[in-house]
């Protein structure tokens, strides 16, 4: 590991009245960047013994308003150390806010139970070689060993940093975007942009590919729009998709609630490159989506027999553990591909803690992604991308681009996810690269 990687510093400041620039004592975004500049400077002084220079911000996100009187905690962490360049990730959080409510004193303020992230950024600083005075051993993310022990270490003493509190996206990691273009539940009455016929599905798949998707999670519909798992309809849709684009087609084996397991397995007859394996039973709105343990084992075997790769759909924390149990008994094989499908009414609701906990169970060498329902889709897939995971978006899970604004098809949702991934430095992979990452070797059929 490079010296300096993981070195973290945090500053906490009170935003003054003279920082307020806009109506309502709102502070402009440049104030947060100035704070990040001070954080970066401390990092460089600690690492190099020189203030260095800020060269560029690669991405900046302003996420919540900052007002005079707020206390802001800004953390920076060194994510990459080159000969002269030091890449850094920053996060600013509001920890105290002035209340500003009618009926309370203007001096009333609250310490927030949960800090509010107001700004995130990644950037690069440089310290010319001749100015680097103090290359020191830095041990990142270790627990504080205590002053007594540290004092006994020989000079120059290592800097031991606390575990970084900010999210550090693994640099240059490839990003697979899946588009769940139709699903089984959404109707044309919900959104007129839902693709239904084989040709519509193919056109939609091609648009999603152009926008950055490498995998299409596929359901099909009867002519009247009702969900189907007919091998014939899947065959027709995949033939049309193949005429237009080279995406990985991942067929559903979940189908719609109420279908028998045998009915759900219809699409395996066309030997898809990839198929879903739902890893447990949940309440699904007012219905039950049934996946008993014997069902899961049987579906896993049928996916294997079809020569397909399973994607493990986990709607609950326990489903990840169930998948690991299936691995142990040999019902599924590595490499594993997890999809955390969060926010189904009746199952676990999405949050950063939930994603981090589920991720903590994912074994080395596995890939993982997040799909989240409705208004959770954007924040949770963006969180997954920041944490180094992959993302699934699309009308199956969410029909809105913004609150009250329908997405005009799946491609705008894919394009937005791709733009976000790129802003983090993630490389949006094409289907062939995704095949390699997922361990799909057979030619697309």
- 51 makes contact, choosing from ligand KMH, Zn ion, none, with CB < 5 to 8 Å by partner type, with none
Q: Is residue 250 within 8 Å of 273, Cβ to Cβ?
A: yes
Tell me: cis bond preceding 15? Omega within 30 of 0 counts: no
Candidate ranges 9-17, 62-70, 246-254, 419-427; the one touching Zn ion (CB under 5 A): 246-254
90 or 193: CB nearest Zn ion:
193
Residue 185 CB, nearest approach to ligand KMH (Å): 6
The residues, ordered by sequence, that sit 6+ positions from 329 with a Cβ below 8 Å of its Cβ are none
Which of the listed partners (ligand KMH, Zn ion, none) does 313 bind, with a CB threshold of 5 to 8 Å by partner kind? ligand KMH
Q: How far apart are CA 367 and CA 249, in angstroms?
A: 17
Q: Give 6 or 254: the residue with its C-beta nearer to ligand KMH.
A: 254
In the list Zn ion, ligand KMH, none, the entry touching 246 (Cβ below 5 to 8 angstroms by class) is: none
CA distance 4 to 257: 52
Binding site for ligand KMH (CB under 6 A): 183-185, 252-254, 256-257, 276, 278, 284, 289, 313
Structure tokens at 232: 């014939």
Q: How far is the CB of 286 from ligand KMH (least distance, A)?
A: 13
CB of 378 to Zn ion, least distance (A): 19
Judged by CB, which is closer to ligand KMH: 67, or 217?
Answer: 217
Residue 251 CB, shortest distance to ligand KMH, in Å, is: 8
**What are the percentages of helix, strand and coil residues in the chain, rounded to 5?**
30, 30, 40
Shortest Cβ 240–ligand KMH spacing (Å): 20
CB of 231 to ligand KMH, least distance (A): 16
Helix, strand, or coil here: 156? Answer: coil
Contact between 229 and Zn ion by CB under 5 A: the answer reads: no
Give the largest CA-CA distance in the chain. Answer: 77
Nearer to ligand KMH, 116 or 257 (CB): 257
Segments of 187-345 assigned E as strands: 215-218, 220-221, 227-228, 248-251, 274-278, 282-284, 287-289, 309-314, 337-342
Q: In sequence order, what are the beta bridge partners of 234? A: none
| Cα dihedral across residues 373, 375, 376, 380: positive or negative | positive
| Shortest reach from residue 255's CB to Zn ion, in Å | 8
256 binds, among Zn ion, ligand KMH, none (CB under 5 to 8 A by kind): ligand KMH
How large is the angle between the packed helices 411-423 and 377-386, nearest 10 degrees?
A: 30
- Measured CA distances, 147 to 138, 178, 310, 402 (Å): 16, 49, 51, 51
278 binds, among Zn ion, ligand KMH, none (CB under 5 to 8 A by kind): ligand KMH
Question: Which is nearer to ligand KMH, 36 or 289 (by Cβ)?
Answer: 289
- Which of ligand KMH, Zn ion, none lies near 308, with the C-beta cut-off 5 to 8 A by kind? none
- Binding-site partner at residue 393 among ligand KMH, Zn ion, none, CB < 5 to 8 Å by type: none
Rounded to 5°, angle at Cα 413 from 409 and 414: 105
Element (H, E) at 372: strand 367-372
Near Zn ion by CB under 5 A, which window of 233-241, 252-260, 265-273, 353-361? 252-260
Nearer to ligand KMH, 138 or 373 (CB): 373
Which residue, judged by CB position, is nearest to Zn ion in the bound state? 252
CB of 337 to ligand KMH, least distance (A): 13
Q: Among residues 91 and 313, whose Cβ is nearest to ligand KMH?
A: 313
3-state SS assignment for residue 263: helix
Q: Are 178 and 418 spatial neighbours (Cβ–Cβ below 8 Å)? A: no
CB of 442 to ligand KMH, least distance (A): 21
Element (H, E) at 170: none
Pick the stretch among 94-102, 116-124, 248-256, 323-331 that binds Zn ion (CB under 5 A): 248-256
Helix (H, G, I), strand (E, B) or coil at 186: coil
Q: CA-CA distance, 233 to 201, in Å (whole number)?
A: 11
Taking CB atoms, the residue at the shortest distance from ligand KMH is 254
Of 98, 252, 253, 308, the one binding Zn ion (CB under 5 A) is: 252
Residue 285: CB atoms within 10 A of its CB come to: 13
Tell me how far, at minimum, the Cβ of 292 lies from Zn ion, in Å.
19
Nearer to ligand KMH, 39 or 256 (CB): 256
* In the complex, minimum distance from the CB of residue 183 to ligand KMH, in angstroms, rounded to a whole number: 6
Q: Which is nearer to ligand KMH, 210 or 287 (CB)?
A: 287
C-alpha pair distances (Å), 120 with each of 92, 330, 352, 393: 6, 43, 16, 23
Map tokens 């103090």 to a residue: 134
284 binds, among ligand KMH, Zn ion, none (CB under 5 to 8 A by kind): ligand KMH
- Residues 403/379, Cβ–Cβ less than 8 Å: no
Where on the chain is the footprint of Zn ion (CB under 5 A)? 252
């Amino acid at each position: 590991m490079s010296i300096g990687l993981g070195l973290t510093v945090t500053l906490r400041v009170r935003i003054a009245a003279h920082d307020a620039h806009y109506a309502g004592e709102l502070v402009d975004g440049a104030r947060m960047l100035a704070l990040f500049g001070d954080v970066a400077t401390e990092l460089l002084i600690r690492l190099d013994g020189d203030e260095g220079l800020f060269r560029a911000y690669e991405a900046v996100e302003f996420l919540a308003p900052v007002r005079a009187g707020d206390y802001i905690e800004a953390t920076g962490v060194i994510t990459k150390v080159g000969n002269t360049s030091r890449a850094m990730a920053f996060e600013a959080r509001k920890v105290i806010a002035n209340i500003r409510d009618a009926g309370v004193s203007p001096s009333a303020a609250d310490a927030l139970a949960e800090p509010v992230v107001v700004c995130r950024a990644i950037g690069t600083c440089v310290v010319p070689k001749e100015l680097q005075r103090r290359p020191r051993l830095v041990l990142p993310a270790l627990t504080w060993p205590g002053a007594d022990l540290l004092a006994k270490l020989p000079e120059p003493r290592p800097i031991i940093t606390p575990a970084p509190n900010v999210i550090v996206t693994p640099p240059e990691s490839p990003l697979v975007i899946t588009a769940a273009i139709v699903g089984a539940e959404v109707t044309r009455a919900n959104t007129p942009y839902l693709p239904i016929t084989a040709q519509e599905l193919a056109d939609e798949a091609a648009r999603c590919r152009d926008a950055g998707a490498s995998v299409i999670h596929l359901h099909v519909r009867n002519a009247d729009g009702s969900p189907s798992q007919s091998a014939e309809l899947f065959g027709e849709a995949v033939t049309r998709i193949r005429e237009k684009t080279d995406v990985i087609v991942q067929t559903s084996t979940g189908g719609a609630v109420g279908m028998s397991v045998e009915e759900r397995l219809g699409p395996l007859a066309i030997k898809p490159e990839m198929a879903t394996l739902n890893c447990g039973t949940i309440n699904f709105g007012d219905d039950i989506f049934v996946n008993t343990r014997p069902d899961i084992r049987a579906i896993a075997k049928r996916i294997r027999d079809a020569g397909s790769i399973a994607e493990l759909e986990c709607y609950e924390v326990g489903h990840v553990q169930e998948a690991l149990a299936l691995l142990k008994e040999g019902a599924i094989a590595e490499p594993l591909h997890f999809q955390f499908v969060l926010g189904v009414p009746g199952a676990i609701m999405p949050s950063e803690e939930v994603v981090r906990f589920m991720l903590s169970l994912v074994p080395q060498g596995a890939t993982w992604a997040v799909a989240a329902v409705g208004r959770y889709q954007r924040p949770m897939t963006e969180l997954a991308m920041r944490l180094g995971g992959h993302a699934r978006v699309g009308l199956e899970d969410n029909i809105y681009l913004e609150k009250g604004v329908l997405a005009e098809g799946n491609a705008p949702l894919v394009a937005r996810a791709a733009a976000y991934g790129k802003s983090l430095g993630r490389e949006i992979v094409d289907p062939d690269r995704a095949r390699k990452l997922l361990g799909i070797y057979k030619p697309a059929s």
